[in-house]
């Protein structure tokens, strides 16, 4: 009986593993990475699935950049006012927000279709 029970458990485990490995060929798009607000923490822009999270910062604030993609990205102002340089996975980057309040367009220089906006307020 122990051998039969073991075979049933192994068969169920194999079926579960196969069912878990089946991948949906048309997955639903995921929402951009939510960046939690931690009091006293510097503002942060996250990059995930070739998308920038929304970012609002005070004038002159240092903004952290976290990249969750497997390829490097940049956060580069369209007006050459700020540039994070290449930020690779697992290596945070940063840049300094402009000193004047306003909305600033930026892009990834490696992937120009990746665009975002920095709102400087305060």
CATH code of residue 62: 2.60.40.420
Question: Rounded CA gap, 65 and 44, in Å?
Answer: 6
Q: Which domain holds residue 56?
A: 44-120
Q: With respect to residue 72, please indicate whether it lies within any of the assigned structural domains.
A: yes
Decide if 63 is inside a domain: yes
- Residue 121, pLDDT > 60, answer yes
Q: Measuring CA to CA, how many Å separate 73 from each of 54, 57, 61, 118?
A: 16, 20, 21, 16
The three-class DSSP label of residue 27 is coil
Residue 97 lies in a domain: yes
**pLDDT 10s digits, 5-53:** 444 444 444 444 444 434 444 444 444 444 445 567 899 999 999 999 9
- The answer to whether residue 73 sits within a structural domain is yes
Q: What pTM was estimated for this model as a whole?
A: 0.68
Q: In terms of Cα–Cα distance, which of 38, 101, 42 is closest to 66?
A: 42
């Amino acid at each position: 009986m122990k051998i039969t029970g073991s075979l049933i458990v192994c068969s169920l485990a194999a079926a579960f593993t196969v069912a878990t490995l089946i991948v949906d060929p048309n997955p639903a798009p995921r929402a951009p990475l939510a960046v939690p607000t931690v009091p006293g923490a510097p503002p942060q822009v996250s990059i995930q699935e070739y998308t920038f999270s929304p970012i609002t910062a005070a004038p002159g604030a240092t903004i952290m950049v976290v990249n969750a993609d497997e390829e490097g990205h940049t956060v580069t102002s369209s007006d050459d006012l700020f540039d994070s340089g290449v930020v690779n996975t697992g290596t945070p980057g940063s840049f300094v927000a402009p000193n004047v309040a306003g909305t600033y367009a930026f892009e990834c220089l490696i992937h120009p279709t990746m665009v975002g906006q920095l709102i400087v307020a305060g």
